[in-house]
Amino acid sequence: MLVALGAMTLGGCASAPLSGDPDASPGDTIATANTSTGAAGYSLGALRSESLPEVTGVLLALEVSKFQRSLSEADPSVVRRVRREVSGGRVTVREVIGEGDDTPGANPMGNSAPKQGEEVSLVAGDKAGAVHLTSVVDFQDKVRTDFVPFMVVIPADLSVSPGRSTVSEFEMIVHPLKDPTSVQTRGRARNEVTVEGVQRVRGPLGEHDALRIRSVLAASLGVAKVKNESLTWYAPGIGVVLAKERTSVTALGLPVRGDEVTWVTVQSDGGEDKAAKPK
């Protein structure tokens, strides 16, 4: 998930140019483009109100691929290099646009630091626990946003139940990277996560049953109000195969920013015994 407000970013994925929710319907073809990696579009099957057996949030966070390439529908020339590092229950994800060190945890202010992209820090609970977002570093705006307490991004319970969602309320604290002990801005926020079901997706990595999760974030930072709506498709053993996101920002009731982006995964090493292959 990606939320940007001047010098504030909450890292990740994507949205489509649709009114209302960043929705997706059966038969939709998403982010089709011709690139050096070939057609980068995903088509969607029917959304089914069911769960993926024996899949937990921790498995989705820890068993994702170590390397992905994603494509922006808004600008097909933009490619993100994504690397993930797992240490115990901690997961660090660095997404780099253009040049720069894509090693998770590398100095965000060093000479080789990326000029664009972000680094996301996650904490996974026990095997059946939720996955929490602890902080996000924005390389372009050179800030780190902390979440206190941590924000739930993948619920512990991934079963589908109509009307049920996981809500977390927290404070967002933004620090400039050049002086991480100081506070640039802060404010209250609320995030609601809903597991919507299973959807068949077909694209560059083959055809998979993916868990579709919707997140809606609302935050107040000074005079600014931020709303982020996202849909993310997780394929077990691969990770995020598709994500759509829309962000809107208003200040004193006036619109100041609106972003809509779609990212699709076009390449994945999948890790040992997890190579991305069609079913």
Dihedral (Cα; 42, 47, 53, 55), 10-degree rounding: 50
Q: 57-82: per-residue pLDDT in tens?
A: 777 666 655 455 666 666 666 778 88
Q: Are 119 and 141 in contact (CB under 8 A)?
A: no
| pTM of the predicted structure, to 2 decimals | 0.79
pLDDT for the residue numbered 26: 52
pLDDT tens per residue across span 146-158: 999 999 998 888 8
Which candidate, 241, 267, 231, places its Cα nearest to that of 14? 231
Q: How confident is the model at residue 30 (pLDDT cuts 50, 70, 90)?
A: low
More confident residue, 122 or 278: 122
Longest dimension (CA), the chain: 52
The candidate with the shortest Cα–Cα distance to 213, out of 248, 240, 184, 179, is 240
Of residues 115, 42, 51, the one with CA closest to residue 265: 42
What share of the chain has pLDDT > 90, as a percent? 34
Residue 7's pLDDT is 23
Q: What confidence score (pLDDT) does residue 277 get?
A: 30
**Residue 15 clears pLDDT 60, i.e. is over it:** no
Task: Report whether pLDDT(273) > 60.
Answer: no
C-alpha to C-alpha distance for 245 and 119, rounded to whole angstroms:
18
